Amino acid sequence: MSHLTSREGYTHLIERLNRFPLGAPPSKTLYEILSLLFTPKEAELVSLLPIKPFKAETAAQNWKVSLLEAQKMLDTLCSKALLIDIEQEGSSTYVLPPPMAGFFEFSLMRTGGHVDQKLISELFYQYLSVEEEFIKALFTGDTKPGRTFVNENALSPQNSLHVLDYERASHIIESSKYMGVGMCYCRHKKQHLGTACDAPMDICMTFGNTAHSLSKHGYTRLVEKSEGLELLERAREHKLVQFGENAQNGVNFICNCCSCCCEALTAARRFAFLNPVETTNFLPEIDLTCNGCSKCAQACPVEAISMVSAHDPQKPKKMKALLDESRCLGCGVCVTACKDSVISLKERAKRIITPINSAHKTVMMAIERGKLQDLIFDNQALWNHRAMAAILGVLLKLPPIKQMMASEQIKSRYFGKLLADMK
């Protein structure tokens, strides 16, 4: 690969990243970010890897190197958290994580000399908060990459009966095989920018194989479920919002987010009624006895609650809380902030549909963003029967309109026939 220029390697990597349903729009800033995280050779090598999980043999074949050489490079990339290695039955499977949630965050989940963290923090801020292309991509399509978990302390005994297990952050913790705790990417970044808040730093959660891989390379520490639940309660005491992967099963992460540092919450405020993360199935209901103390408005992470006149002729200056339902995440932080218990949660009129697993979420996002063909035809996946079976299994369970969108994107006679046979 010596004939390649360093810029070509990064250009190929950017092209590769943009085959993800949520990619990384090209810019000078993105190039600078990638040049800090990847060497030119690493960038070129990673650009040749599949989207879906792969073995070392696949990497060796794609890179045209020996298995031993491929293994050595894969181990290096995993040590930098640019790849995730999953150990199963004595062998390793590798996954290239997307930029977010993925290796962007991993780069700031530990301290040390592996990367200039002040510089990359400044670049992340420029790319994600000043330049708007990446953040706007979060709002594309109906299926969001992340979802909000309801604050369980805000649930009444009655509406607790209507909360499914996968909607509880506590259930994700209790049912996980591995749980890792790492440094909050957002607050660590803001710390280097001099604008971090005093919310807990060591509190971001990963689960399953992702947690195991990151802990092995020093990016997280594995904890017992009891400590995980204690950290969850600590997060709630600080009025933090729980965001996690938008899937019912196999949730890989839960972030405990503050309104001042979290990019998703900042984006939600900037773009008003458009939410970059999926809401819960609840909305706050404010009682008429609200005394206008404004604690709920101060606590709301997306400014969905404002203070307006109570129109009380006896007290012309009296205020009351008013909810903008179109902006509300349904997190329940306002309920726990209200000392007079005049706010409660009610079910939304229309229930939110959560993808079954990450594969379901990925296919839905790919369809909505016009990238299904990238997912299916990436690196010979069409000839991988297991991969095709998994993708088609998801496609055939979609609503008819989504199936039509998918069929139009891949222009496949085979897929069209499958859909026709299902009618």
Q: What is the DSSP letter of 202?
A: E
Q: What's at 107, amino acid-wise?
A: S
Tokens of 219: 């990016």
- pLDDT score for 212: 94
What contacts 41, CB < 8 A, 6 or more positions away? 1, 9
The answer on pLDDT for 416 being more than 70 is: no
CB 145 within 8 A of CB 99: no
Tokens of 287: 């009682």
Rounded to the nearest 10 degrees, how much is the dihedral formed by the CA atoms of 368, 370, 373, 376?
-30
CATH architecture assigned to 6-97: Orthogonal Bundle (1.10)
In total, the chain counts a number of residues equal to 423
Bridge partners of 308, per DSSP, are: 320
Report the 3 state secondary structure along 136-191: HHHCCCCCCCEEEECCHHHCCHHHHCCCCHHHCHHHHHHHCCCEEEEECHHHHHHH
What average pLDDT does the segment 99-124 reach? Answer: 88
The whole-angstrom separation of Cα 143 and Cα 355 is: 8
Q: What's at 248, amino acid-wise?
A: Q
- With vertex at residue 45, the alpha carbon angle to CA 251 and CA 211, rounded to the nearest 5 degrees, is 20
Does 6-97 match 282-347 in CATH topology?
no
CA gyration radius, the chain: 23
| Band of pLDDT at residue 56, cut at 50, 70 and 90 | very high
Report the 3 state secondary structure along 71-112: HHHHHHHHHCCCCEEEEECCEEEEECCCHHHHHHHHCCCCCC
Tokens of 98: 């997307």
Closest C-alpha to 378, from 14, 20, 8:
20
Higher pLDDT, 393 or 235: 235
- Per DSSP, the three-state class of 253 is strand
Dihedral sign, CA of 234, 237, 242, 248?
A: positive
pLDDT tens-digit readout, 3-28: 455 688 899 999 999 988 888 999 99
Q: Where are the domains of the chain?
A: 6-97, 134-270, 282-347, 358-422
Supply φ then ψ for residue 43, to 5 degrees: -60, -45
* CATH fold group of domain 282-347: Alpha-Beta Plaits (3.30.70)
Dihedral sign, CA of 268, 271, 273, 278?
A: negative
pLDDT tens-digit readout, 352-393: 989 999 888 988 888 888 888 777 776 444 445 566 666 667
Q: What is the DSSP letter of 257?
A: E
- pLDDT score for 423: 46
pLDDT tens-digit readout, 323-352: 999 999 999 999 999 999 999 999 999 999
List, as one string, the DSSP characters of 282-343: EEEEE-TT-----HHHHH-TT--EEEEE---TT-TT-EEEEE-TTT-----HHHHH-TT--E
- pLDDT score for 2: 46
The whole-angstrom separation of Cα 232 and Cα 82 is: 27
Share above pLDDT 70 across residues of the chain, in percent, rounded to a whole number: 90
List, as one string, the DSSP characters of 21-71: SS-----HHHHHHHHHHS-HHHHHHHTTS-SS-B-HHHHHHHHTS-HHHHH
pLDDT tens-digit readout, 163-175: 999 999 999 999 9
